[in-house]
Amino acid sequence: MLKLQPATHLFLLIKSVNQTFALEVLPLGLIKMNSNNDIKALRHADDLLKRGFASMLQGGVIMDVVTPEQAAVAEAAGAVSVMALERVPADIRKSGGVARTSHPDMIKGIIDCTSIPVMAKSRIGHEAESQVLQALGVDMVDESEVLTPADPYFHINKNSHDIPFVCGATGLGEAVRRIYEGAAMIRTKGEAGTGNVVAAVTHARLIDQEIRQIQQLNDAGLDDAANIIMNRYRVLAESSNLPGVSNLTPFGEIDDEMHGSIRDILVEVSDLGRLPVVTFCAGGIATPADASLMMQMGVDGIFVGSGIFKSEDPETMADAIVLATAHFDDPDKVAEAMGMMGGDPMRGDELETLEVRLDQRGW
Amino acid sequence: MLTVGLAMLQGARNEHMHAILKAAADLNVEIEIRELRKSSDVAGIDALILPGGESTAMKIASRSEELYSGIWENVRNTNIPVLGTCAGAILLSQNGLINAGIERNAFGRQRESFQSDIEVNLEEISTFQGVFIRAPRFTDGSGNAIAWLGDEVVGILERNVMALTFHPELTDDFRFHLWLLNEALSRTEHDQ
């Protein structure tokens, strides 16, 4: 039988949640914490919890939103999460200038109005922006090339944060470095804000082919591959022109230990035949068929940036992309989703016409 | 041969797939994992897994195919064993398959997600590694509790429907998946 009791210890457990919320929970009974149940005994913020959070997103669509109203549209359409930002990538492209993390009021406004997880973007290498996002209660940080990089050498040391990170990658080496740095989820970069899926396809294919190559390697080959991936840090450290630091990164020294950790990730990749973290695609998804295409290429889910709220009928587009992602391998359902589109998708750009290639940011 | 249905529209299905395959290998039973996306996929399954994820997204993704209405009808008619974790437990509660209320995200946001050892009262399981991710909490009801975090109920078993607010599939410990297969096996043996 379920027990009813005063849950005086519950508040200890959720002390970091605001008090109003905790008091709302208290009278419901059943929820009783044993007095031996010490909050310190609960283990927060390790890799299992970070990667576990990302696992819950499988098969879902994560939508860029710039207002609480858009977040409500995304949740009603069945998004698994929303990405809170001030401007969608298409508008960041148009306006130029330095793109930074969003205003806290804007992020809090979206957190307050949604029940699904909220993500937000931090600049590459900007530890302080990501700390702010964590303090605001964001569930996952996207260390994103869509914003202007803050550190020309190194990404954020994601292992030092309690909340999980997703990072972009154009190839396996980049993905493995981000995982080594603590990323709990990878997304293909694609070319954000273009409505053109070609870069997302390129990156997904490249990562897939490189995984097949890793699977062909013997022990010595894996040693070499780990060296090549690690050496990218050396090049960056050396290019910093600071004397005596060429062997040092925010993640530790470039040494046998780092080599071993990177090699361990490659062994995992080889055994699994895929990245060891949830892998989404992003950048240029503009129609339900684009979402189906990427799911058929084996990604775990879809980020849609400008594709929904830059289309003529965002509410229907949001519904349609969720439908096509869930039923990606059923052409009748994808056709139904394509037919739902009430207006034109966002206008697309040829990559050759772009002044700024976002996918070349990050390394 | 057992057919295990896995709701596929959204959620952490890969981890459940690995866990149930390990459990099947351990029991030396042959299983087929049936990926459930439409209500027409449901007929003939011997056991059902409802993974964690976002329950709002699952319900909406199911909308045009009515996967879940097909699932609930099947579970009520056949009494197959069911394992629902986190969002799966939410769906079981909201659709009256267990007699308990549930509140989503009741521990807080991702930074409040946690791990803790929990107590379990089930054959062959007495303690378990509880992984709670933006977890729900049972709020009321009279269900048959089988798992506790301290004195708080985190797992309910009614008839053969199991609702857990934590994630056994994220650990290497597949004993809850063994329970599911053993239940399915004893039912099919009983039928023969």
Backbone dihedral region of A130: left (phi > 0), alpha (psi from -120 to 50 degrees) or beta?
alpha
B15: confidence class by pLDDT, cuts 50, 70, 90: very high
What burial letters (b/e) apply to B60-96, b meaning 16+ CB within 10 Å? Answer: bbbebbebbebbbebbeeeebbbbbbbbbbbbbbeee
For B20-72, the pLDDT digits (tens) are: 999 999 999 999 999 999 999 999 999 999 999 999 999 888 877 789 999 99
For the domain B2-191, what is the CATH superfamily, name and number?
Answer: Class I glutamine amidotransferase (GATase) domain (3.40.50.880)
Q: How far apart are CA A140 and CA A156, in angstroms?
A: 14
Q: What would the two tokens of residue B178 be?
A: 């063994």
Angle between helix A331-340 and helix A288-296 axes, rounded to 10 deg: 150
Report the alpha-carbon distance of residue A24 to residue A185 in Å, rounded. Answer: 33
Based on the residue annotation, tell me whether A158 is a catalytic residue of this protein. Answer: no
CB A49 to CB B133 under 8 A?
A: yes
- Please state, for a pLDDT cut of 90, what percent of chain A lies above it: 64
Distance separating alpha carbons of residues A219 and A232, to the nearest angstrom: 21
pLDDT confidence tier of residue A240, bands split at 50, 70 and 90 = low
Domain ranges, ordered by start, for chain A: 10-216+260-360
CB B140 within 8 A of CB B101: yes
Smallest Cα–Cα separation from A173: which of A239, A254, A228?
A228
Distance from CA of A251 to the nearest CA of B (A): 22
The ipTM of this complex is 0.95
CA-to-CA dists, residue B85 to A117, B29, B95, angstroms: 18, 23, 15
**What is the rounded CA–CA span in Å between residue B127 and residue B120?**
5
What does the pLDDT read at residue B151? 87
User: Left (φ > 0), alpha (ψ -120 to 50) or beta: where does A127 sit?
Assistant: alpha
DSSP for residue A62: E
Name the pLDDT band for A356 (thresholds 50, 70, 90): confident
Could you say which residues from 149 to 188 on chain A have a Cβ atom under 8 Å away from some Cβ of chain B?
A: 162-164
Q: Are A111 and A65 in contact (CB under 8 A)?
A: no
pLDDT for A56 equals 97
Q: Is A79 an 8 Å CB contact of chain B?
A: yes
pLDDT per residue over B108-159, tens digit each? 999 999 999 999 999 889 999 999 999 999 998 777 899 999 989 999 999 8
Q: For A19-64, how does the pLDDT look when each residue is reduced to its tens digit (9 = 90+)?
A: 323 322 322 233 333 334 444 456 776 899 999 999 999 999 999 9
What is d(CA B161, CA B147) in angstroms, rounded to the nearest whole number? 14
| Nearest Cα residue in chain B from A27 | B139
Find all residues with CB under 8 Å of A329, minimum gap 6, and list them.
A292, A295, A296
Output B83 or A246, whichever has higher pLDDT.
Answer: B83
Asked if A322 and B100 come within 8 Å (Cβ–Cβ), the reply is no
**Rounded to an integer, what distance in angstroms lies between the CA atom of residue B52 and that of residue B7?**
10
How far from the centroid of its chain's Cα atoms is residue A66's Cα?
A: 17
Q: Which tokens sit at B89?
A: 């437990």
CATH of domain A10-216+260-360: 3.20.20.70
Instruction: Give the angle subtended at the CA of B78 by the CAs of B75 and B80, to the nearest 5°.
Output: 65
Q: Mind listing the pLDDT tens digit for each residue in A304-355? A: 988 898 888 999 999 999 999 999 999 999 999 999 987 778 777 877 777 7
Contact A30 B152 (CB under 8 A): yes
Non-local CB neighbours of B175 within 8 Å, separated by 6+ positions: B124, B125, B128, B168
**Where are the domains positioned within chain B?**
2-191
Cβ–Cβ under 8 Å, residues B16 and B8? no
User: Tell me, what's the pLDDT at A266?
Assistant: 97
What does the alpha-carbon distance between residue B109 and residue B188 come to, in Å, rounded to a whole number? 42
- Distance separating the N- and C-terminal Cα atoms of chain B: 13
For residues B108 and B137, the answer to whether their CB atoms sit within 8 Å is no
- Contact residues, chain B, for A164 at CB < 8 Å: 110
Tokens matching residue A302: 């879809």
The predicted structure's pLDDT at residue B90: 96
Scan for tokens 């059923």, then name that residue.
A330
Residue A310 has, within 13 A of its CA and on its CB side, a CA count of: 24
A280 touching B (Cβ < 8 Å): no
Question: What's the mean per-residue pLDDT of chain A?
Answer: 85
Which residue, among A33, A50, A56, would best test binding to B if mutated, counting the most B CBs under 10 Å from its CB? A56
Q: Is the pLDDT of residue A363 over 80?
A: no
Q: How many CA atoms lie within 13 A of B77 on its CB side?
A: 10
Contacts of A78 in chain B (CB under 8 A): 10, 56-57, 59-61, 63
B129: buried, middle or exposed (CB in 10 Å: 19+, 13-18, 0-12)? Answer: middle
Whole-number Å distance between alpha carbons of B177 and B18 = 10
Strands A301-304 and A278-281 turn out to be parallel
Tell me which amino acid residue B185 is.
L
Measured between CA atoms, the residue of chain B closest to residue A55 is B12
CA distances from A96 to A146, A191, A233, A350, A356 (A): 11, 16, 29, 18, 9
- Say whether pLDDT at A82 is over 70: yes
Residue A95 has pLDDT above 70, yes or no: yes
